[in-house]
Amino acid sequence: MATKPKIYHFDEVAKHNDRHDCWLLIHGKVYNVTRFLEEHPGGEEVLIAASEKDATDDFDDVGHSSSAKELMNKYYIGDVDVKTVPPPGKKYTPPPINPPKAINKYYAMLAKLLQLLLPLLILGGAFAVRSAIKRD
C-alpha cells in the first residue's frame, strides 16, 4: 500500500531558498535539490533563482530530457497545497514573523516596570545632582 505524500504549505517550501538548503516546486511537487546543485548542468544559481516560486514554467521552458525528468524522482519529497501557492506573476512575500505570546507578555511587563521605575530614577538623579552642588 502506497503512503500518501507529505503536503507542504508554500510558505514552508519558500523558506528553502539558498545553496545550503534548496527546494523547488515543479508541477505541484516539491523537490529537495540541495544535493543536486553542484551537478546541475545550468549551474546552482539557476536552481536557487527558481526557488521561492512555482518553477514549473522555468522547468518546462528549458525542455529537460526524459532522463532529467526521471532523475527528479530521486529528489521528490512531497506535494504542495496548491491553495497556498501565489498566482503566477505575483511576487512571493514571506509572512510576517510574529513573536511568541510569551515574548509579548515579557515586553509588556518590562514596559510597566519602566513606567514605575522611571520617576524613581529621575528623583534619584535629581537628588544626586543636588547633593553634588551642595558639596561645592
**For 35-57, how does the pLDDT look when each residue is reduced to its tens digit (9 = 90+)?**
999 999 999 999 999 999 999 99
In the prediction, which pLDDT does 88 show? 77
Name the helix (H) or strand (E) containing 29.
Answer: strand 29-32
Looking at per-residue confidence, does 95 or 19 come out higher? Answer: 19
In the prediction, which pLDDT does 1 show? 58
Strand order in the sheet with 21-26: 7-8, 76-80, 29-32, 21-26, 17-18
**Phi and psi, residue 63, nearest 5°:** 75, 55
pLDDT 10s digits, 106-124 = 788 888 888 888 888 888 8
pTM equals 0.68
Residue 19's contacts (CB-CB under 8 Å, 6 or more residues apart) are: 34, 37, 44, 48
Q: Where are the domains of the chain?
A: 7-84, 98-135
Q: Is 75 exposed, middle or buried (0-12, 13-18, 19+ CB in 10 A)?
A: middle
Distance CA 117, CA 48 (A): 51
pLDDT 10s digits, 81-110 = 999 998 877 777 777 777 667 677 878 888
Domain 7-84 has CATH 2.30.30.790: no
3-state secondary structure of 65: coil
In the prediction, which pLDDT does 46 show? 94
